Amino acid sequence: MKNVITNNLITLTEQLFTELYTHKNPNMIIQHLSKDIESYGLLFENKTCSYHDICHYFTHLCRSTHSFDMQNSHFQIITQTNDICVIDGIYELVKDKNQQSLKHYHLTIVYLLENNHAFIKHIHVSSPYQIKTNDKVKYSQFDMKSIFNQSSMAGLYCAYLDEKHTFYLINDTLALMLGYCNQGELLKVYNNVIDMIYHEDRVQIQNNIQQYLTYGNIYNVEYRMMKKDGSLIWVMEQGQRFYDEYDNEFIHAFISDISELKKNELDLMIQKQKYSLALKDNSITILEYDIQRDRLIIDIQIESKKKIYDHYLEYVSSDRSTVFKEDRRLVCDLFSRKIEGPIEIREHIRGTNRFVRKSIDSTIIYDAKNQPVIVLATARDITTEWNFRTLLEQKIQKDSLTQLLNLESGKEKIEDYLRTKPLNTSCCLFMIDIDYFKTINDNYGHYFGNEVLIAFSQCLSSLVNNGDLVIRTGGDEFMILFKNIDKCSSTKKAEEICHSIRNLQFNEKISITSSIGACFLDAYQVCSFEQLFKGADYELYRAKENGRNGFSIASYLELNNNKDQTQVNDEYRTLLKLLNNQENIDYTTVYQKIAKKYKINRISLIKINKETLHYTHDNLYISSRSYQSSMKEGYLNQKDYLLFKDNHYMIIQCDENSLLSSSLKKLLMQGVAKTIFLTWMQSQQYITFLSYVHYEQSKDWTNDECQELVGLSSTILTYMNQ
């Protein structure tokens, strides 16, 4: 059977009856019959027939009658929803070219719509009227009742064309639409149409119908109708005036519930009103993206500035786009509805070396079938705002006197560095202060003291490399983080700073000295800012004890000289050395040692595709206590995926955690796990996880253990991805 587009059902109806009457071919109409078809009318001798009876009738009709030409057909869609479509109309049959044996017929067909196919659920053919000189459409009482008795797919009523449109007939479908059990219950409350219409709409609707009927017999109106519970629904009434055999005027009408359509229209009107108001701001541009056509229209309300981009997602991803390469994926994801706005992007100004920053926010417009059709967006120029915000952030982050980072912002940047630095690099944190600075303030005043602080900070800044962090922690105390430096170079740098400070010259012909404490972090070691800070602060105390004007340096490992801690660090360093032997890594041994050291029962590798959210799961190590799971692959939902977006590791106590979906819990727990330590790294296409599962009891993870496992995992995942 051929696919049928709803808008072509009128054409289909004409084709079905042309094949039947003119070409004597019943097969086409039979193919479109529903198995539970209902029928009534002249075709079937005014009696109901089964599906097989109707098929037999059409076949017999084509064999036993003459061929007819179908002329002057006029069909229209009376009502249409996602599930049904009602076609109503008239046609003429003529036997020969001399217009002899001219017959007039009225046809009503109810189509069921399923998977883009149309099936005839109800068919009614009658000869209820004749075209008179005054164009009156005439029905017999029998014809009116037969339609209402057989039609259950739409709300129908027949009413006298009096002041209030008093009911003549009404079907159960209309009663159910309004919350009543059947037509009998409805008729106990109302005997006419007008009283059922919401009082604010009554006069307007009566005037509209009267205006339609002044120029013809067909009308179409929309209004609100009251339900049994007092609530309102929007309905569309499509009606026709006709006359009975005694020339009494009637209305025959179809009623459709269009409340959802009206809601969507209202939402669209509100959104357009909002965006119209937004356009008063000259920094805002309106964007309209057609989802099906992949077309973007810019400045849709200013015709002279309108720009149209076909195949927009392909364009914005290409080098022809003015959007920064790093930001193009954000734009594509916003308009393909993978992410919600607002987003911030950078865009080049063609023909210049300048660029602007824009904030893009969006809303989705849905059609009557609740399908997304339009992404309506605003693009706001935030260049000035961003520059001001950046300047303000810099002022907040910097010390007002020396323009160095202040303690809060410096601490945050050091923490970020320690969390993400390559494991095979070392660093050193210096704590520095000016010797006897209080005496300088007391003897020469605070104004001169400020000059000393400024000169001191400038000297420190001149002795560091790009990327190193120079921080004023308060008063005469300073801090420097030297990145990617070995211990020997750290010692030389401390000597250089002390020497440079001694050579500073001031107008009062005085000199100053400084004391330095430094804590060195070896490669393949992991520690927190607090631990490194305490080490440097302790060494500064030692430098002052030794007479000032000098420095004291120790490694983080040396300062943590507790026997048990040293043993733990040695085990950790052994694991790192095993992993660092890239040419011949014995992963099995490494996993066994990790499991033993951190009391792990299972180590798993989970790889997630960022685009599809498809994951694969492989066990790297399983102890005898582990649950034997067969989960190998599946899909994450978006909510679970977003949990891992901005973290580096996560500890899940399974008895307490309620954030995870049941499917993700099942994957991670692998049976009856108590505690799970997850750590991961991201590439362009994948997020790769290592999952450490503990089955026996809820485990308390120390900060050192967390840092160590992050370091080990980072090394493992780096080598695996090479």
Secondary structure (DSSP) of 369-381: TS-EEEEEEEEEE
**Rounded-to-integer distance, Cα 271 and Cα 285, Å:** 15
Contacting residues for 154 by C-beta, under 8 A, at least 6 apart: 78, 79, 84, 86, 110, 173, 254, 255, 256
Tell me which amino acid residue 371 is.
Q
Contacting residues for 167 by C-beta, under 8 A, at least 6 apart: 157, 158, 159, 187, 190, 191, 192, 193
Cα dihedral 578, 581, 586, 591 in deg (nearest 10): 40
> Considering the chain, what is the average pLDDT of its residues?
80
Assess whether pLDDT exceeds 70 at residue 722.
Answer: no
Mean pLDDT calculated for residue range 113-141: 63
Range scoring the smallest mean pLDDT among 150-159, 163-172, 237-246: 150-159
DSSP state of 604: E
Strands 427-434 and 514-521: antiparallel
Mean pLDDT calculated for residue range 665-686: 77
pTM of the model: 0.38
Assess whether pLDDT exceeds 50 at residue 42.
Answer: no
Q: What is the pLDDT of residue 323?
A: 92
**Rounded-to-integer distance, Cα 438 and Cα 510, Å:** 14
pLDDT exceeding 70 applies to what percent of the chain? 80
Contacting residues for 438 by C-beta, under 8 A, at least 6 apart: none
Question: Cα-flanking dihedrals φ and ψ of residue 398, to 5°?
Answer: -105, 150
Helix (H) or strand (E) holding 364: strand 355-366
491 — pLDDT class (breaks 50, 70, 90): very high
Assess whether pLDDT exceeds 90 at residue 340.
Answer: no
Query: 24-33 long-range CB contacts below 8 Å, 24 or more apart?
Result: 24/62, 24/63, 24/67, 25/62, 26/55, 26/58, 26/59, 26/61, 26/62, 29/58, 29/120, 30/55, 30/58, 30/59, 31/1, 32/1, 32/118, 32/119, 32/120, 33/119, 33/120
CB neighbours (10 Å) of residue 116? 10
515 — pLDDT class (breaks 50, 70, 90): very high
- Say which residue, 227 or 108, is predicted with more confidence: 227
Helix (H) or strand (E) holding 75: strand 69-80
Q: Give ∠ CA 101-103-108 in degrees, rounded to 5.
A: 155
Tell me which amino acid residue 504 is.
L
Structure tokens at 98: 């001399």
565 — pLDDT class (breaks 50, 70, 90): very low
**Rounded-to-integer distance, Cα 186 and Cα 140, Å:** 25
Distances (CA, A) of 127 to 76, 137, 178: 18, 11, 33
- Burial class from Cβ neighbours inside 10 Å (0-12, 13-18, 19+) for residue 280 reads exposed
Chain position carrying tokens 């300062």: 559
Distances (CA, A) of 490 to 154, 221, 473, 499, 544: 86, 86, 20, 14, 19
134 — pLDDT class (breaks 50, 70, 90): very low
- On the question of a cis peptide bond just before residue 422, with omega within 30 degrees of 0, the verdict is no
Helix (H) or strand (E) holding 331: helix 328-335
**Rounded-to-integer distance, Cα 612 and Cα 632, Å:** 16
Q: What is the pLDDT of residue 550?
A: 92
Q: What is the pLDDT of residue 629?
A: 64
Structure tokens at 84: 């049904």
Assess whether pLDDT exceeds 90 at residue 256.
Answer: no
Structure tokens at 623: 């102890």
The strand pairing partners of 607, in sequence order, are: 616, 688
Assess whether pLDDT exceeds 80 at residue 428.
Answer: yes
Chain position carrying tokens 């009637």: 250
3-state secondary structure of 96: coil
Mean pLDDT calculated for residue range 269-296: 72
Give the sign of the dihedral formed by CA 112, CA 113, CA 118, CA 119. Answer: negative
Q: Which domains does the chain have, with CATH numbers?
A: 6-127 (3.10.450.50), 148-257 (3.30.450.20), 263-385 (3.30.450.20), 401-561 (3.30.70.270), 569-721 (3.30.450.40)
Q: What is the pLDDT of residue 644?
A: 65
Count H helices and E strands in the chain, helices first. 22, 28
Quickly list DSSP for 17-72.
Answer: HHHHHTS---HHHHHTEEEEEEEEEGGGTTS---HHHHHHHHHHHHHHS---EEEE
Q: Which of 365, 351, 188 is nearest to 263 (CA)?
A: 365
Longest pairwise C-alpha distance within the chain: 129
Mean pLDDT calculated for residue range 289-296: 90
pLDDT exceeding 90 applies to what percent of the chain? 19
**Rounded-to-integer distance, Cα 338 and Cα 335, Å:** 8
DSSP state of 323: B
3-state secondary structure of 151: coil
- Give the model confidence (pLDDT) of 528-554 as tens digits: 898 899 999 999 988 988 888 999 999
Contacting residues for 172 by C-beta, under 8 A, at least 6 apart: 152, 182, 183
Q: Give ∠ CA 83-84-87 in degrees, rounded to 5.
A: 160
- Give the model confidence (pLDDT) of 63-108 as tens digits: 766 788 888 788 887 777 777 888 878 888 887 655 555 677 778 8
From the centroid of its chain, how far is CA 659? 19
Question: Cα-flanking dihedrals φ and ψ of residue 265, to 5°?
Answer: -65, -40
Half-sphere exposure of 205 (CA within 13 A, CB side): 25
